[in-house]
Amino acid sequence: MTGSTGSAIRAIGLEKRYRSGDAELVVFSDLDLEVARGERLAIVGESGAGKSTLLHLLGGLDRPTKGTIYFGEKELTRLGDAELAEFRNREIGFVWQSHYLLPEFTALENVMMPLLIRGWTRQQAAEVARDRLQETGLGGRLHHRAGELSGGEQQRVALARALVGQPRVLLADEPTGNLDARTGEMIIALLAEIHRTHRLTSVYVTHNLSFARRCDRMLKLEAGRLSEIEEPPASERHPTKGEGGASYV
C-alpha cells in the first residue's frame, strides 16, 4: 500500500505501547489518520489521551510500535535515524507549548539554527532568518536574547524558527498553552496567516476550543480512537467562557 496522492500525511494502523516495569500501557492501537494537503486540522482531547504522542509520531520524533506513516509518497517509518533527522529538518516545522529557545543566543541566532544544521553559511542563514522574524513581527528584536523577550515574543521566535526551513507541514503542540488570552489570540491569528502565505499543511494539538473551531476540521482523540467533531453553523453557536478564551456550545 502506498500513500494517497491527495494526502500530505497518512497514518495507517498506528499503535503505540510503552513498557513500565511489568505493566504495558497501550496509548492507541489500529489508529488511522489522513490529512489533506493544505488542510488546517485540530486534534483535541483530554490530557493523557495521547495527542502529543500522536504528534510526535507524525513528526518522526518517535516511532510507532506498529503501523505506517506516509508523507506524500514517502514512507516515514522506513527511514533510518539520519534520514529521518534530515527529513524533519527540511519538511516539517515544529512549534511547542514551551518554545525551547536557546537562552544564550539572540532571536536571530535561534532562528538561524535549522539552516546552520543544513550547512548554510551564517550570512545565508541570517538573511532568511531576518525575513522570518520580520514576518512574525519581531524585526526590531533581532538581537535580543531569549530571556529578554516576553512570552508572546518568544513564541513568535519559535514560529519564525519553524518557518525558516520552508517546511511543507507545520505541527504545533499547544502553541497557546502558556500564553494569556490576548497574546494567545495574536498567535492564533499569526498561525492562520502563515498557514495561508506559506501554503502549509498544519496539524495543531490544542485544548483551546475557540482555536480548534477555526480550523478546517476537528478530531477528538479519546480512548485510543479518533472521531470527527461536527460543529453547528456559526449563527447557531452561543458564546460561553471556555478554556483558553471564548468558546462555543
Does residue 174 or residue 241 have the better pLDDT? 174
Looking at residue 240, its pLDDT comes to 39
Nearest residue to 86 (alpha-carbon basis) of 156, 12, 167, 205: 167
User: Lowest-pLDDT range, 47-56, 75-84, 91-100, 233-242?
Assistant: 233-242
Looking at residue 23, its pLDDT comes to 87
Average pLDDT (119-146) is 96
Q: Which three cell numbers stand for residue 186?
A: 495574536
Instruction: Give the model's confidence band at 246: pLDDT under 50 very low, under 70 low, under 90 confident, else very high.
Output: very low
Q: Is pLDDT at 236 greater than 50 in this prediction?
A: no
Q: Where are the domains of the chain?
A: 38-63+80-248
Cα angle for residues 143, 100, 162 (degrees, 5° grid): 75
Taking the mean position of all CA atoms in its chain, how far away is CA 145? 24
Looking at residue 222, its pLDDT comes to 94
Calculate the average pLDDT of the chain. 89
Beta strands in the chain (DSSP E): 7-20, 23-36, 40-44, 66-71, 74-75, 92-95, 169-173, 201-205, 217-222, 225-228, 239-242, 245-248
% residues pLDDT > 70 (the chain): 90
Question: Contacts from 71-75 at CB under 8 Å and sequence distance 24+?
Answer: 71/3, 71/8, 71/9, 71/169, 72/3, 72/5, 72/7, 72/8, 73/2, 73/3, 73/5, 74/3, 75/3
What is 38-63+80-248's CATH superfamily? P-loop containing nucleotide triphosphate hydrolases (3.40.50.300)
pLDDT digits (tens, 9 = 90+) for 18-58: 888 888 889 999 999 999 999 999 999 998 899 999 999 99
pLDDT digits (tens, 9 = 90+) for 145-201: 998 999 999 999 999 999 999 999 999 999 998 899 999 999 999 999 999 999 999
- Cβ atoms of 33 and 217 closer than 8 Å: no
- Cβ atoms of 239 and 248 closer than 8 Å: yes
- Cβ atoms of 62 and 50 closer than 8 Å: no
Looking at residue 243, its pLDDT comes to 39
Nearby residues of 23 by Cβ (< 8 Å), 6 or more positions away: none
Average pLDDT (139-150) is 93
Instruction: Give the model's confidence band at 3: pLDDT under 50 very low, under 70 low, under 90 confident, else very high.
Output: very low
> Rounded to whole angstroms, how far apart are CA atoms 201 and 109?
26
pLDDT digits (tens, 9 = 90+) for 27-38: 999 999 999 999
Looking at residue 150, its pLDDT comes to 93
Q: Is pLDDT at 137 greater than 90 in this prediction?
A: yes
| DSSP-derived secondary structure for 156-192 | HHHHHHHHTT--SEEEEESTTTTS-HHHHHHHHHHHH
Residue 29 DSSP SS3? strand
Predicted TM-score (pTM) above 0.85: yes
